[in-house]
Amino acid sequence: MSLEERSAFSIELCRAAGALARDHFARRDQLRVDQKGSQDWVSEADRKVESFIRESIAEAWPQDGVVGEEHDDTPGSNDFTWVIDPIDGTTNFLSGIPTWAVVLAGVSEGETRIGVVHDPIYGETFSALRGGGARLNGRAIRVAEGKTLDDGIVAVGYSNRVRAENVASTVAALVVRGTMFHRNASGALSLAYVAAGRLVGYVEEHMNAWDCLAGLLLVTEAGGLTEDLNADEMIREGGRVIAGAPQVFEELKSMSTPAWGGSG
């Protein structure tokens, strides 16, 4: 079956999963919640939404593999793998903050081919098909043009997987540069906002594949730049993410790399 068919399927699936997640959001005070680590939570809603997505994929594409944040990997009999984050922004979700998303990426031969970031609260579905551009609710989107670090906003992500000092150094470098920084606690949504021209860039020292693969494809298909990452390696290990409009990308890289203890 074609990538176009998988892409259309993924968009509708994320919308259906988003409706399920939104129902849980409306009664979040009744959810069972477990703590995986410092500021790292998983709820009954995360698990149920991921299970719904997995079951839908198994019915429509039984030969495809599946990787998700909350359940064990399901190997496929072909080279196509779906990567799921059922609720990106769980802390927001559980706190009643309406900034979270359902995220789905499709990977083949080390490249992300399909990416969807669906925001059920605002009814926004960001989608990308490799070579086919990026869209918001079906309309083409582009990264910010004309804006630089002098008048744009850069989002900074962080997690308990990196040193707090490195995050502070990243924010400090942006502030000294005179750039506005932003964090909405959903890396996938932030990357989608870069693709839509709302943010000029996004940086995070380490992201898991389910948080970033869909968003990175959105950015590149919307005319932005990202570092050259192998999707299969990101699934295995995760990695750093720098994404932005072409006019700010190299400067973001030169600011972030030393802040994270690297060079170059």
Radius of gyration of the chain (CA): 17
- 134 sits in which H/E element: strand 134-136
pLDDT at 35: 58
Tokens at residue 209, please? Answer: 């594949």
Find the length of the chain: 264
* Mean pLDDT confidence for 135-149: 96
pLDDT at 162: 84
CA-to-CA separations, 66 to 51, 75, 80, in angstroms, rounded: 11, 7, 9
Q: What is the pTM of this model?
A: 0.94
Is residue 20 helix, strand or coil? helix
Strands 65-68 and 80-88: parallel
pLDDT in tens, 202-217: 999 999 999 999 999 9
pLDDT in tens, 168-203: 999 999 999 999 999 999 999 999 999 999 999 999
Q: Which residues pair with 80 in a beta bridge?
A: 108
Residue 209 contacts residue 238 (beta carbons within 8 Å):
yes
Q: Tokens 């410092």 identify what position?
A: 38
